[in-house]
Structure 1
């Protein structure tokens, strides 16, 4: 069945300027997502959705396609991932191409490997899911988490768990923020990534790092060196 890898990479990053093409251990960070998709051998098309000419040029230099540019509406700060993906799928339809499955891979996910993508696809198919994405367990039980109230005092979010042992509380997970593998017809029908049967691919935290600051960036480089550099 036909599959497309969609890497959404707009040019307007605020916290880390030009984040999507900033050098990560000597190569533009987006090149790692492109490489993982290409090396998996799963995809009929590996494309980058961008409104930015420089990002498009970098993407093409590293083997991705940029068959069309992103619209102004889909490139602003408020555009959702679902809106970007729907635009890409519709533009492919306009040029006579359609896909059964799509994998939205974020451009700042250098720890994603071809094997992780393959494992996600196999879980999608074997489990009959409409979406699969990587997850991580919270390192501390969220049921014992705190908040600051209007009086600037600490309170428990769930005070009923004040005396509970950590090992007796259920494990909670969060999105690793790397990619979403989707059944395209189901996604187009609902226009919602997290709909229907959603599966989670559990990762070791060494294979994921949210990158929103310079310290996050350095941590991701350290993890990459530890996991992938011989």
Structure 2
């Protein structure tokens, strides 16, 4: 792989589900610190930037070795996309602007590892893709609810006998943890998916998103029980 790779971690100050989420201690460290440490340990990443509108988050980012980038308030509200933070980073930070590859990491996946980041970045390069993103295999039977309350099978035909797990086609869910894409194509498209996008399966990734206090308790408990709390 050639060219510079920069990881950008969007981390807004506001969080309604879990107040102060991005610097709330998770397994003894501020939540954002887990993503920073994983990115800094990744062999494919040259520089780590945390984009935030919150001074405490930026101070925490610097304390753990990342570059803190102050994000303008007009792209920091509830409606602001993660893409807007990356586009701002490309414009505002020389290192990010000079990058060939951008890696977007989400704070809400604190168990992400350096090896997983390296895998997603490397697979994008190996498969000559524009975007590579982390996924996990899922086996759920998904449903939509019609206006009259009737259930409609999304990934299965409910009118037929229930298939065994091993007989169903493989399906995957986006983890939301890791995205790697070419900077030039991303800036032109303005979104994370463009051109040729390839999913990268992370066999050990968890499926718990940190959106509520209950999620937080569940993920910390899983991390401790599975020996991933160190």
TM-score normalised over the length of structure 2: 0.89
Give the secondary-structure state (helix, strand or coil) at the position aligned to 2:15: coil
Deviation at 1:138, TM superposition (A): 2.3
Deviation at 1:200, TM superposition (A): 1.1
Give the secondary-structure state (helix, strand or coil) at the position aligned to 1:178: strand
Measured in 2, the distance between the counterparts of 1:87 and 1:57 equals 19
Judged with a 3 Å threshold, the aligned counterparts in structure 2 of structure 1 residues 149 and 30 are, in CA distance, closer, same or farther, namely same
Partner of 1:91 in structure 2? 92
Give the secondary-structure state (helix, strand or coil) at the position aligned to 2:93: helix
Partner of 1:26 in structure 2? 28
Does residue 1:151 correspond to 2:148, yes or no? yes
Measured in 2, the distance between the counterparts of 1:96 and 1:65 equals 11
Q: Which stretch has the larger CA shift, 152-161 or 97-106?
A: 152-161
Matches within 5 A, 1:204-215: 204=203, 206-215=205-214
Measured in 2, the distance between the counterparts of 1:97 and 1:194 equals 19
Matches within 5 A, 1:127-138: 127-138=127-138
Partner of 1:163 in structure 2? 160
Give the secondary-structure state (helix, strand or coil) at the position aligned to 2:184: helix
Q: Is the 8 A contact 1:206 1:223 kept in 2?
A: no
Measured in 2, the distance between the counterparts of 1:169 and 1:98 equals 44
Partner of 1:37 in structure 2? 39
Measured in 2, the distance between the counterparts of 1:96 and 1:114 equals 20
Q: Is the 8 A contact 1:111 1:208 kept in 2?
A: no
Deviation at 1:227, TM superposition (A): 4.2
Deviations 1:13-62 (A, max 9, x none): 11111111111011101100000011114322211000110111111111
Partner of 2:7 in structure 1? 5
Judged with a 3 Å threshold, the aligned counterparts in structure 2 of structure 1 residues 174 and 206 are, in CA distance, closer, same or farther, namely closer
Partner of 1:118 in structure 2? 118
Measured in 1, the distance between the counterparts of 2:100 and 2:219 equals 32
Give the secondary-structure state (helix, strand or coil) at the position aligned to 1:176: strand
Give the secondary-structure state (helix, strand or coil) at the position aligned to 1:224: helix
Measured in 2, the distance between the counterparts of 1:158 and 1:208 equals 19
Judged with a 3 Å threshold, the aligned counterparts in structure 2 of structure 1 residues 102 and 159 are, in CA distance, closer, same or farther, namely closer
Q: Which stretch has the larger CA shift, 217-226 or 179-188?
A: 217-226
CA RMSD of aligned residues (A): 2.2
| Structure 2: runs of 5 or more not aligned | none
| Structure 1: runs of 5 or more not aligned | none
Partner of 2:71 in structure 1? 70
Deviation at 1:161, TM superposition (A): 4.5
TM-score normalised over the length of structure 1: 0.89
Measured in 2, the distance between the counterparts of 1:137 and 1:41 equals 26
Measured in 2, the distance between the counterparts of 1:158 and 1:103 equals 30
Partner of 1:59 in structure 2? 61
Partner of 1:190 in structure 2? 189
Deviations 1:99-129 (A, max 9, x none): 0011111112111001001111110110001
Give the secondary-structure state (helix, strand or coil) at the position aligned to 1:120: helix
